[in-house]
Structure 1
Amino acid sequence: MHVTVGSAKQYTETHENGKKMTVKFCGECGCAIYKTHESYPGTVVILAGTLDDPEGLEQSKPERELFTKHRFSWLPGLKWAEQTPEF
C-alpha cells in the first residue's frame, strides 16, 4: 500500500477501547486514507473510496468486519470475513 500523489499526514488518538489508533490522511484535502490500530499490529484498514485502480477494489476483499455490534438487522455479514464487534 502506498500513496501515489503527495504525502500522507497523520494523527494518533486514543480509541474508545483505550488503545491507540493512527489515521493517515491527505495533507491537501484532509480525506482519511487508511488507519492502523495497536490492537491489530500489521493490519491496515484501507478506506475503499481511496482506491484509484478498479482492480484495487476487486483485490481488496475484506478479511474482517469491524463494529459488527452496530450492524443493522437487515444488513447481512460477510460470510467469509472474521466478525469483530468493535475495532
Structure 2
Amino acid sequence: MADCLTLLRQYNLQKKEIVERDGLIIFDQTAWPGNAKTNYPSYRSGQAGLKEYYTLESLLFLLKNVSLSHPSYVAKAG
C-alpha cells in the first residue's frame, strides 16, 4: 500500500477525485485521517532539533487553493 503523500501526488497528477468526509481523505478505496502526518517536512523542520511534517489535510488544502494570492490563501486558511 502506498503512503498518503504518494497517493495525494498520484491523484493530483492524474486529476482523480479526492473526497473529504468525516475527517477522512478518501482515495477511491483507501482512506486516511486528515490529520495524518506525511513524510513531507515543514519549513520549520529541523529548528531546535525537532522535525515537523505537514498533515495530509494541509497539503490537500494547498493543492485546492494553489491559484490564490498569498494574502487570499492565508485569509482562507484562517
Structure 1 and Structure 2 fold alike (TM over 0.5): no
Higher helix fraction: Structure 1 or Structure 2?
2
TM-score, L = length of structure 2: 0.27
Which protein has the larger Cα radius of gyration, Structure 1 or Structure 2?
1
Higher strand fraction: Structure 1 or Structure 2?
1
